[in-house]
Structure 1
Amino acid sequence: MAAIIFASLLSTALGSGLHARLDDGLARTPQMGWNTYNQYNCFPNESIVHENAQALVDTGLADFGYRYVTIDCGWSVEDRLPNGTITWNETLFPQGFPALGQFLHDLGLLFGAYGDSGILLCGSPPNQTGSLYHEDIDARTFAEWKVDALKYDNCYSDAAENYPNVNYAPSTSPHPRFANMSHYIQSQDRPILFQICEWGIDFPALWAPALGHSWRIGNDIIPHWRSIFRTLNQAVPQMHFAGPGQWPDLDMLLVGLDSVLSVPEEQTHFSLWAVLKSPLVIGAAIGGMRAESLDILGNKDVIAFNQDALGESARLRRRWSDAGYEVWSGRLEGGKVVAALINWSDEERELTLDLPDVGVQFAGGLRNIWRGKRKSDVKTSYTARVEGHGVMLVELSDTLPVGKYPSEIFAHTNGESTTFSPVYAITSSREYTLNITFSQPPTAKNIFVTTSATRSPVRISVPSGASSISALVPLTAGSGNTITIKGAALISFIHLAPPVPIYYPATQNTTLAGNTAPYSCPSAFCHPTGSKLTNLDTNSTATFHIPSTTSGSKYIEVDFINNEVAFDSSWGWGSNSRNLTIRVNDREPVRLEVPLSGQHSELSGPGLGWYDSGRLGVLTGGWKVGGNEVVFGNEGGEGGFSAWAPDLVGVGVYD
């Protein structure tokens, strides 16, 4: 049996994420504003900008921080002026861009312009000149117009292929073109926010922070609910790169666009963009927007999560693909935690957030933002109704870390017995380490510990004067456990730690069927094993032979690799995910839609991003004492999910 004990290696694999950054004082928190594109496409004009800018002020949205007003594609013309400078379309902008900038500045807003690193702007034809080979003069021109921000796009840029409009697999990296414009932008005598928009085709998180203040992580958002899932799956391997001055851009908001998203869908969309620290850029017309959408865009609490000074993005913590919900969370300034539980189902239902999934055992205060409710002294879990396609967005304060149970919060005493509840267990196991800390040193004696998972007490001999004592106890997966300690002196608190998982590499001692095959990766890749299984299609399986000391439900952590980025397919049903099923001993399989894991360039990086591991945990049922067959595959992949499972690196089992 190939099995090794392992600790969590995910942080080591990812690194800190804070690469060399452009540190000029701009975008210490994600930028906020309004852009013409989502509502008006490449057909802006002066009246449109005036009306929406005024509406930002009149509705109070500007006071919330929406200050950058950007004119996207469609503002320019094909030919440059005789002196080589770009110019605006005088029919659409009769007063000109300098006057437009002054208008915005007089309103207390900031002037955002749009350019392109190719020979034409996106949205051509009719052709509008781009900045390729004219970066110096264009940067000076933007500065002369008193532009405050530049969104810089990636159309018509591949000279080797005669400048196609869009090329998701260009012959060379876009990096040098963006670096060139960044150099000239930084050379101007005014600060200009630089927004890199190369659609994530060369994993810009690795190089964009040194050049600009934000970078688009992927393809354009499309006006459909399905675009939210696709974008979040692409965000997963990039969120650790976020920090003051460098923000992953999930693209402009759909909130307020007529007949695109329901109110709960808009709340979910806005919440996740906010807690992932994406720039918040309104894409809808402000005037005439429904009141519910204006309220969403103006929610002070959600904006505060986005603008939190700590600058830490939320991460994907758990995903229940079969049940249709998932949990994201991140730290906030002041020791607080924000958590978002997304209900992917189209039906309203009651859902439970287990606080340990977000690193918390207890919260002295909980605020359910969209429900407008507060709760005190939340122990172990919180349950609330969540609308179809809606989100449970909560702020947790005065928290205790997962596994710590103070007596004054979790215990009640009856005679010589002290019972702690509710106690959370991530997996069913006999190997939980229970540490009991006494309020005062006891005299030498025996104490007895009973849990809800067994009727047989565990006897522990306590040395005289000991301040604490440890033992192994059994627990059942879930948040309904109790621990009763009989015969102890006063107890200050208990601490519980789950079993250390046992790791099984996918390429060792597994039974393979169909097309799946082992693959050896270069050194330092396919973490932590250096190898993986590939070609897990709908007719292929990999069977692990895993012993267990207990029956019931086991939590496992799957190390996977997926870099099937939805570029062309993003306009349809591309989701950036692959379908993985896990069947234990012929029980019904558990399905997991795994997100992207690649953290290198799809063009030229090591393995084109297919050497980079991700990790997600899932609870699986059907385990028995002794040998177990755990079958990984892609059952149902032909029925609408991805035809391929992710590459499989290994699995850690919490037994």
Structure 2
Amino acid sequence: MRASSHTWEIPAKMALLMFPMLPVQASVESPGLLPTPPMGFNNWSRFQCELNETLFTETAQSMLTRGLRDVGYNRLNLDDCWMRYDRAADGSLQWNTTKFPHGIPWLASYATEHGFHLGIYEDAGNETCGGYPGSYGHEKQDAETFASWGIDYLKLDGCNVWAEEGRSLREEYRLRYGEWHDVLSAMPQPLIFSESAPAYFADNASDWAVVMDWIPEYGELARHSTDVLVYVGEGSAWDSIMNNYDYNTLLVRYQKPGYYNDPDFLIPDHPGLTQTEKKSHFALWASFSAPLIISAYIPDLSDEDIAFLSNKALIAVNQDPLAQQAALVSRDGTFDVLSRSLVNGDRLLTVLNRGAVTAKTTISLARLGLSQSNCQYQARDLVTGKVSTAHGAIEIQLDSHATSVHRIALPKRCSTTTPTGMVFHTPSGLCMTASSGNTVTFEACKASDSQVWSVAAKGGSKLELSPLSDNSVCLTAQKGAVSLAKCGGSGNTWQHFITGHLSNTRGGCLTGESGKGAVQACVVDNAAQIFGLPSGVKLADGAPRWFS
């Protein structure tokens, strides 16, 4: 990702114009439409435009007989190329009768009769990515058509969207996806809305962040980065998965019940993946509470593939009602360590070995926000089922590209947790570091205690941030500088916003890309002010106070 060099400051009077109140019908305002992330099948990564009725009926039957539907995979989603190249005389969409001889309504009925839901694809532009009719100018008509066919899920892509005169491209996307939001919200039974707008801005940190800010208010999930590598694509499938994984780690603050960050499909039959990499892919997506949408030829999956895709313990994590996304605790070039809380109070530990060889690491329980002394915890490996006792630290050994997931049960007397992990500048990936002389710098992540921060709630959305290397000092703003000072002072309290800004209650926003951090006037498009914090941190309402 590259940061935009164009920034501007917003006077306080203009803040409400930049961040208007959004419609109350939004998914995060009423999360019952999709209370947990979707699970199912989509044809795109495996088959692209080679979809047809038989593929979907065969897939449904295989998901039934192999137990996938019974563990939660209950969605069948058509992707691009399902339709004819022309609309009907009344302007309505038409399915390709060669590919779907019985028709889409028949397929929706078939899905329902077998315990599935049917979803469909369209595009916010004049054409889909495959050159079929887009929805622009037909939003209400197309939504009503889909509902009449028995569809309850819409994936809306963003190919062939061009800015109308007087609007920026990101404003155009907001208007078009906003129109769909309004149309769907007004329906007696709204369709689940999967948005693709952020993926078209993923190469610009500022634009991407501004688009992401409104995405959770308009739909239930959003594909935020590039497509995962298709079955016949050139390149490394593992690198493609890691690319989307990395994007997802930047978006922790957006996810909550009713809205889910979507790093794209699971691809368990891709010939470029080892079995270890396939299992890692699933374990990481489950830890994120990301959508679990399989794009593979399910009848030909091995029994081993079906077994890891059916892991009930990992699916329970994925479907946990708290819907937190696992956030980075630390990274050092070999190990990524992530954590989150679960609805019953358990703590999740996910560890990925990104290195090329088998390696060991030790993770202190303090890094997971478990700082009470003389406490023992039961840690269950959700892949192997093995249970161990953890006291002080957990030791992990992993093969190259392997992932382990532990669910840590907290005894009643040791049940307190504090959101703990990296505070990192998401456009650059640099970690906020407690450096010598009480200075605060942004450096390459090295998994040291000086780069792991505890975030303590101080009433409402006010926060104090303290490094694990010295919990007596807190991040402090004073006269445009940022440093470490004794906790409890007036400059110690901060608020984190959906925009990624970390604003000090004295005024100004944390700013830093490399070297020493600073506190500067908050700027909407300043990529140097976009930060990720641990899971479980309460966000402030609205937007930061902007200073001219």
Q: TM-score, normalised by structure 1?
A: 0.60
1:365 Cα deviation after fit: 1.0
Whether the 8 Å contact between 2:345 and 2:415 is mirrored in structure 1 is: no
Q: CA deviation at 1:527?
A: 5.1
Equivalent-residue separation in structure 2 for 1:27 and 1:304 (angstroms): 16
- Distance in 2 separating the partners of 1:531 and 1:110: 45
Residue identity matched to 1:291 = D
Which residue, out of 302, 307, 321, partners 1:295?
307
Secondary structure of the 1:351 match is: strand
| Equivalence for 2:530 | 612
Indicate the residue corresponding to 2:349 in structure 1.
339
List alignment gaps of at least 5 residues for structure 1: 1-17, 162-168, 405-425, 432-475, 479-495, 511-523, 537-541, 545-557, 562-599, 617-655
Residues 560, 613 of structure 1: alpha-carbon distance in 2 compared, 3 angstrom cutoff: farther
CA distance in 2, matches of 1:560, 1:372: 47
- Residue type of the alignment partner of 1:130: G
**CA separation in 2, counterparts of 1:506 and 1:369?**
49
| Partner Cα distance (1:509, 1:336) in 2 | 34
Aligned to 1:32: 39
Equivalent pair of 2:476/2:482 in contact (CA under 8 Å): no
For residues 189-268 of structure 1, what are the structure 2 equivalents within 5 Å? 189-200=188-199, 201=201, 202-203=208-209, 204-222=211-229, 224-254=237-267, 256-268=268-280
- Residue 153 in structure 1 maps to residue 163 in structure 2: no
- Gap change, CA 1:36 and 1:477, over 3 Å in 2: closer
Contact persistence 1:43–1:73 (CA under 8 A): no
1:76 corresponds to 2:90? no
Does the CA contact (< 8 Å) of 1:216 and 1:248 recur in 2? yes
User: How far off is 1:340 after superposition?
Assistant: 0.4
- Tell whether the 8 Å contact from 1:242 to 1:277 is kept in structure 2 after alignment: no
Equivalent in the alignment of 1:119: 126
Partner of 1:644: none
Q: How big is the shift at 1:615? A: 6.5
The partner residue of 1:275 within 276, 287, 294 is 287
CA deviations on 1:434-491 (whole Å, 9 max, x unpaired) are xxxxxxxxxxxxxxxxxxxxxxxxxxxxxxxxxxxxxxxxxx979xxxxxxxxxxxxx
Q: Which has the higher contact order (CA 8 A, sep 6+)?
A: 2
How far the C-alpha of 1:185 sits from its partner, in A, is: 2.3
Return closer, same or farther for 1:313/1:509 CA change in 2, 3 Å cut-off.
closer
CA contact (8 A) 1:199 1:219 kept: no
3-state DSSP of counterpart to 1:606: coil
Q: 1:343 & 1:260 partners in 2: Cα distance?
A: 18
- Alignment deviations for residues 201-228 of structure 1 (CA, whole Å, 9 cap, x no partner): 2444422222211112222222511123
Give yes or no for contact 1:342–1:389 (8 Å, CA) kept in 2.
yes
2:410 maps to: 398
Q: Which amino acid in structure 2 is aligned with residue 152 of structure 1?
A: L
- 1:365 aligned counterpart, secondary structure: strand
Equivalent position of 1:577 in the other structure:
none
Question: Normalising by structure 2, what TM-score?
Answer: 0.70
CA contact (8 A) 1:342 1:391 kept: yes
Pairwise CA distance, 1:331: 0.2
Q: 1:132 to 1:396 in 2, by over 3 A?
A: same
Query: Which residue of structure 1 aligns with residue 52 of structure 2?
Result: 45
CA positional deviation for 1:428? 12
Residue correspondence of structure 1 range 150-549 to structure 2 within 5 A: 150-158=154-162, 160=164, 170=169, 172-200=171-199, 201=201, 202-203=208-209, 204-222=211-229, 224-254=237-267, 256-321=268-333, 324-361=334-371, 362-376=375-389, 378-399=390-411, 400=414, 498-500=471-473, 530=509, 532=511
Which digits, 9 at most, give the CA deviation of each residue in 1:394-420, with x for residues without a partner? 00002536899xxxxxxxxxxxxxxxx
Instruction: Report how far residue 503 of structure 1 moved.
Output: 6.1
Structure 2 vs 1, CA of residues 75 and 379 (structure 1 numbering), >3 Å: closer, same or farther? same
User: What is the DSSP-based 3-state SS (H/G/I as helix, E as strand, rest coil) of the residue aligned with 2:97?
Assistant: coil
Q: How high is the sequence identity, in percent, across the aligned residues?
A: 26
Alignment partner of 1:72: what SS? coil
Kindly provide the CA deviation profile for residues 371-401 of structure 1, in whole angstroms up to 9, marking residues without a partner as x: 331113x101111321210112100002536
Match of 1:103 in 2: 110
CA distance in 2, matches of 1:509, 1:57: 57
| Alpha-carbon distance in structure 2 between the residues aligned to 1:102 and 1:360 | 50
Give me the whole-angstrom Cα distance separating, in 2, the residues matched to 1:505 and 1:230. 37
Distance 1:301 1:19, change over 3 A: farther
Separation of aligned partners in 2, 1:403 and 1:314: 15
Q: Is the 8 A contact 2:324 2:342 kept in 1?
A: yes
Residues 501 and 286 of structure 1: is their aligned pair in 2 closer, same or farther, counting only changes over 3 Å? same
Code of the residue aligned with 2:258 in structure 1: it is G
What is the SS of the residue equivalent to 1:335? coil
Partners of 2:190 and 2:480 lie apart in 1 by: 53
Matching residue's letter, 2:282: F
- Distance in 2 separating the partners of 1:102 and 1:504: 60
Higher helix share: 2
Displacement of 1:107:
0.7
From the CA coordinates, give the structure whose radius of gyration is larger: 1
Aligned-partner residue type, residue 215 of structure 2: A
Q: Distance in 2 between matches of 1:119 and 1:505?
A: 52
Q: CA RMSD in A?
A: 3.6
